[in-house]
Each structure stands twice: as C-alpha cells, then as structure tokens.
Amino acid sequence: MAFDRKNFIARRVAQEMRPGDIVNLGIGLPQRVPGFLPAGSSVVVQGENGILDFGPPASVADVDTDYFDAGVTFVTLKLGTSFMDSADSFALVRGGHIDATVLGALQVDEEGNLANWMVPDKMIAGFGGAVDLVTCARKVIVAMEHTNNGNPKIFKRCSYPLTGVRCVNLIVTDMAVIEVTRQGLLATEIAEGLTREDVINATEAPLEFANNPKVMTRQ
C-alpha cells in the first residue's frame, strides 16, 4: 500500500491530544485526526458549525447527512455529542475554552506566523473561524505536508497575507515535528528514513535540532 502522508501527519497530531482536551480541527488534513484517537478517548472535538464531541469520519455504510463538521465531512456521533447555534460555538472559541486547534497552512515562518487563508491573485472563500482560533485557542498546531511540489512551506518570513502573528506553537509535517520557540524553530522529531540534512534542505527557515531527536515511525 502506498505511503499516505496525510494520515501519517494526522496520526502524529492525534498523539498531542490529552484526556479531556477540547480540540478544534480545521478543514482538510486536520479532519482526519479523530480517526486516530484511541477508542474511548475523552478528547472532545469541536466544530464551529455547532457540533461538539463527535467521533471520526463516517464510513460509507454509516453516513447520516444530518451530521457533519465545519468542513462538511460526515461524522459519527458519540454518547454525549451535542449541537448548538454557531454563535454559541464561537463563544466557546472566543471565551478561551479551546485547548488546541489544528489547522492546515499555506506558509508558516520561524516566528510562528501563519498564512492559511489566501493565495494572492486567486479567489479564496475566506479565513472562516481561523482568526478567532489562532487568537483564542491555548495551543495552535499546524498540520501540513512539509513541501508543496518540492517547494518549502516553512519560511524565514511568510509572504502571503497572515492569518495570525506569532500564533503557532507546533508544526507537524510528514518530515518532522517542529516546536516554535522564542529562539526559532526546533525540530524534536524526524520521520524515519530521513536525515537532518533532508529536513534542512526542505525548509527555508533556519532549523535547530534537539539532542537525539525522536523518530516519527510509520506505525
């Protein structure tokens, strides 16, 4: 079976969740994360469309078109899943009740600036709830592939319009796990089969490495 980079990233992101965390997931790759949470997990997944504490994406056999997340992926319900007005859902976000948000990105830079809503000169739907989330969530995790057609996505400075300034805490890619620190970017894990030089060559921003960085395994 071909290596699925997005599932690899989502699986590693799921490991960042702690029991009882209230977590918001952005559209795209982050929506895969619930599928890698342990059975019986107490992590509460929130969608700004007004669904709270839902399960992983529904299989074809389990689809109920009344139940979907903010990215219109059909989801499964858990005992305790609840529904609310989107205004109440955003009150959870703006009130500081979200422990972590997981977002995709077009660009991230060494200061933790995030650009994920607009490519100049292209029609884009808008930033949705991302501005609220990066401002109010306690932890911001970026989940993305490390490069786009071989071109870096982690820069010394973002060139696209920003979603948030110095808001990113952690970057999880198919090549590495990178913490955003006051001193810059610190790679704490490297995907198996890759070297430090591989990661450096795929990253425009300067990178430091932890002593004995862990290996991101495919299992």
Tokens of 213: 């960085």
**Which one from 16, 48, 110, 111 is the annotated catalytic residue?**
48
Judge whether 107 and 160 are in contact, CB under 8 Å.
yes
Judge whether 171 and 154 are in contact, CB under 8 Å.
yes
Judge whether 126 and 117 are in contact, CB under 8 Å.
yes
Residues with Cβ < 8 Å from 205, sequence gap 6 or more? 109, 110, 154, 155, 156, 184, 185
Catalytic residue list contains 48: yes
Residue type for 14, please? A
- Catalogue the active-site residues: 48
